[in-house]
Amino acid sequence: MLLWPRHPLVGQSTRACHWDRADHFRRGSVVDEAIGQIGNRNGDAVALTLISLAIALAWRGRIASKLPSALIILILGTLLGAIWFGAAPPVPSLTIEPPGLQFAGLTADLFVEIIEPAILVALLNTLVALTGAIKCDLVSGSDHHPNRFTFGLGLGTVAVSSLGGLPGGIGPASFVYTYNGGRTAVGCVTVLLVVVAAVTVLEGVIQQIPLAIISFIMIATAWQMVDWRFLRCIPRMEKSYAFSMVATMLCTVFVSFVDAVLVGAILTLMLNSRRDERHELAGLISVPLLDVVLFRGSEISRRDPYDAHCGLIMLPERVTAASARQLKLSLRPDLEGHRIAILDASRTRVIDDSGATMIAELLRVGQQNGRLVVIVASLAPNVGRMLRGLIELNDAPDTHFAAITEAAYEIARSEVLKLDRFAQSNGAREA
């Protein structure tokens, strides 16, 4: 037994992955499969392959929509192999044994050894299955319900593994079935029964088919499955996106599928993080707030028009781990140049744990020894709960949390007046 039953929520979380990148695992695997069909040459096998190629090129028009070329190649190739090209190797004999429960040798140590590869195989199988399901959804216009789909796939895999089988599925057959108009579960069961019959009841017929015909059909199918239109668009794509696509596909072909999954996931995380960092930093605004803007009436005439005791920091719409480090580097010089900082979160919709920790730590350094007064404005409870808690740990009074920006300005004005009185008292002592 190689796999564990997958939790239903795994399907929903896996669905959030970038399926176009995941689809490159499949593109690379079909190219690898096509290359793998090239082996030792046989004269009769080469002749059958060339005949199959001619049939595939000539089989066009309305009749091709009724009778697929693969079926015609299979029938004619089998007849030609039996009559004229007998030297072409046929499909070898299939040894089918009745399944039986296999629980011998299951120990605690064995479970410890297989848990890591089991999880890896489960994730890979889920990724491939859900990618194929998304393709079917695009054709049928329906939804495959990823949680239920993944849970059923996990239970089926456990049952098959208990009978000595290997994890897998008939994803390509499902896609062909959907592409040709199939929409019901009865049709899917029919596809499964045909596959079972092909390896059990029809074993004698299958052994008459030349391997060259099967290989050609697999190569032709793999060639058709490659998204050439997408590959032609690579020169027009963003360089980083195109690099991740090509690297994932090449790694699948020339290294291994597992390494391609790791490389693709890492590249995706890195590139998405850099993109999010640029977008989040573009929304950051940090400007000095002149005293003449902060005060009104008679107070303005007594102020230096260029004094700015207060700084205004408007956080972007998203503050996440992607931009946390750069936000810290950008805001530190601004905070060091002011005695009062208004942190305006009126535009902010998301603050993750990393962003909240970074902002709180940056403000804590400034608040040491009472050098910086922090005023937080328009921080929604459902957005900045963690940030507010961290700022409160820095001994910030509740009065320094304002519901709107104007209320924050009022608090800032009172703090500036306190600084003025403190400066006047110090000047009087020195005098």
Got the DSSP string for 366-380?
A: HHGGG--EEEEES--
Q: Report the candidate in 313, 318, 245 with the shortest Cα–Cα distance to residue 275.
A: 318
User: Both tokens of residue 155?
Assistant: 């239970």
Q: In terms of pTM, does the model score above 0.85?
A: no
Contacts for 170 with CB less than 8 Å, ≥ 6 apart: 191, 192, 195
**What's the rounded Cα separation, in Å, for the pair 407 and 400?**
10
B/e letters for 90-107, b = 16+ CB within 10 Å, e = fewer, are beeeeeeeeeeeeeeeee
pLDDT recorded at residue 26: 54
Q: What is the C-alpha to C-alpha distance for residues 397 and 390, in angstroms, rounded to an integer?
A: 12
Helix (H, G, I), strand (E, B) or coil at 63: helix
How far apart are alpha carbons 293 and 310 in whole angstroms? 10
Q: What is the pLDDT of residue 35?
A: 57
Question: pLDDT digit string (tens) for 71-95?
Answer: 888 888 888 888 888 788 887 776 6
Positions of the chain with pLDDT lower than 50, given as ranges: 1-15, 19
Predicted pLDDT at 6: 47
Residue 141 backbone zone (phi > 0: left; psi -120 to 50: alpha; other: beta): left
Q: Which amino acid is at 365?
A: V
94-153 per-position pLDDT tens digit: 666 666 666 666 677 777 777 777 777 777 777 777 766 776 776 677 777 777 777 877
For residue 412, give Cα distances in angstroms to 65, 171, 339, 365, 427. 75, 63, 10, 20, 23
d(CA 300, CA 298): 5
Tokens of 140: 């049928």
Give the single-character DSSP code of 96: -
Domain boundaries, the chain: 8-226, 228-282, 283-422
Q: Which of 146, 356, 127 lies closest to 261, judged by CA? A: 127
Sorted by sequence, the CB contacts under 8 Å of residue 289 that are 6+ apart come out as 308, 310, 311, 312, 342, 412
Full strand arrangement of the beta sheet holding 401-402: 285-289, 310-314, 340-344, 373-377, 401-402
SS3 169: coil
- The CATH label, of 3.30.750.24, 3.40.50.2000, 2.40.160.60, 3.90.800.10, for the domain at 283-422 is 3.30.750.24
- Three-state secondary-structure class, residue 73: helix
Identity of residue 23: D
Distance of CA 41 to the CA centre of its chain: 41
pLDDT at 40: 56
